[in-house]
Chain A
Amino acid sequence: MTFDINVILDQMPQIISGAGVTLLTWIVGTICAVIIGFFVAVGRRFGGMLLDNVLGFAVAILRGTPFLIQIFLVYYGGPFIGLSLDPIPAGLIGISIYGAAYYSEIFRSGFLAVPKGHIEAGECVGMTQGQIIRRILLPEMTMLVLPPSLNMAVLLMKETAVLSIITVPELTATLSAIGAQQYAFVEALSVLALFYWVLVEITGRLGHFVETKLTRFRFFNA
């Protein structure tokens, strides 16, 4: 038995198509997760105690159960409530909601981390509540949540592998299938791991680049 990587590389068009689906579910899912997570955090911060409790409960459930089970429930449980989804939309919904729970917590801690005095300084020069949120709270929060947000994006990318279980034709599903057809599991999984690692590296470098650009904004003494 020899380690023959060419068996896998011969199937490049399929692999590229799988990588495309992975990138699609990851990027679209993460963007949706960030947006939903942001509104959840805003709702919890400014929407009163009832909304805070309801959303907090939902977030606790989403963070407290495995993603594998959540995605099963969306895909196979959907039809019970009249929601029959194709694999890719089901996967996107799964990633978005799961990610939103985590992003809402990242934003919530971001809101809390903006020093109260920075808000008071805005009040003292006559800015309205809306201006303070838009010009001070959100920009400062963005700087604070950037590192954990990128970290979460990387985690979500790796979670897209779980979508193979509901037959989303992404990278893991594609390479597992090739491995089975060619009887070359080790080669297939090696290529798979390499793909994810390269993607994570690229994301990490990009994130690092943005963070260095923002270091001058870091708090001096807060």
Chain B
Amino acid sequence: MSLPAIAVRNLVKTFGDTTVLHGIDLEIPQGQVSCLIGPSGSGKSTLLRCMAFLEEATSGTISVNGEVLGFTETAQGVRERISASANRAIRAQIGMVFQQFNLWPHMTALGNVSEALKMVQKMSRKQAEELAMAQLVKVGLESRAGHYPSQLSGGQQQRVAIARALAMKPKIMLFDEPTSSLDPELTGEVLNVMRDLAAEGMTMVVVSHEIGFAATVGQNITFLDHGKVQFSGPPQEVFKKPRNPRLEQFLDTYLDRGASMLL
């Protein structure tokens, strides 16, 4: 059994008085597509944001390829924050794609993808732009390199955002509802890029309402509800014979909407 790409141990996250995650334990295996599904407010996005260290967990740990994210424990068992640069080194293994794309509006597509190569990896402009161009080719947008985000469709913006994350050569890609702000026609082009990525063996964690994608591409499905992992397993078990009543109820709403033909 190889080391999990991400290991979540007893993770608790509270916002003020509200507990959003109640002690999550989860392992993300290497080289597979893991999907987090669940109703709104179930905590799936918060869990993903904790993995990207965009939220700091209240307690518990997240290890990325064996290294604990954000904190270290002293001999007395006190949790201490690690230095920003040490944490950046661990976070560099992770790429993140957001629901709202979050492209920088004052930079072209090429500028968005090459920015971190120049700033973080200290590449020359020429070298950074060559690599960035290669990533844009990969998501099929080389002809849009000189366009600003406002000149691109939602689907194109999201593909640029994926290229921006991939340019940093992450070992794990996190997707936070990557198609939720796209209309169905544009959803397809983003999902195709993600399928290609999965086929290359990228470790992916996808929070999505695209049950069809989860069923066809996902290798592990984790169902969250009320901040707890309710069920976790391969897609056949989750979708064909859901034994968890809450999961069954959740899936019914999707099957009603015609997703049953995909299963």
Contact = CB atoms under 8 A, between A and B. Distances in A.
B88 A117 contact: no
Nearest to A222: B100
Contacts, number: 85
A218 interface: yes
B106 interface: yes
Interface string B69-102: 0000000000000001000100110111010111
Given A124-B91, A125-B116, A126-B88, A221 B100 contact: yes
A129 B84 contact: yes
Contacts of A118: 102, 104-105
Interface in A75-121: 115, 117-118, 120-121
Given A135-B119, A217-B150, A120 B105 contact: no
A87 B94 CA distance: 60
Contacts of A139: 106
Given A123-B54, A125-B164, A126-B116, A136 B104 contact: yes
Q: Is the contact region of chain A dominated by helix, strand, or loop, or is it mixed? A: helix
Nearest to A126: B120
B95 A140 contact: no
B45 interface: no
B106 A220 contact: no
B236 interface: no
B100 A217 contact: no
A140 B106 contact: yes
Interface string A113-154: 001011011111111110100011001100100000000000
A123 B96 CA distance: 10
Interface residues of A, number: 26
A136 B106 CA distance: 8
Interface residues of B, number: 35
Nearest to B53: A123
B120 A125 contact: yes
Contacts of B181: 221
Contacts of B46: none
A219 interface: yes
B100 A117 contact: yes
B148 interface: yes
A213 interface: no
Contacts of B154: 221
B115 A135 contact: yes
Nearest to B95: A124
Interface string B209-246: 00000000000000000000000000000000000000
Contacts of B115: 125, 127, 135
Interface of B: 52-54, 84, 88, 91-92, 94-96, 98, 100-106, 115-116, 119-120, 148-152, 154, 157, 161, 164-165, 167-168, 181
Interface of A: 115, 117-118, 120-129, 131, 135-136, 139-140, 143, 216-222
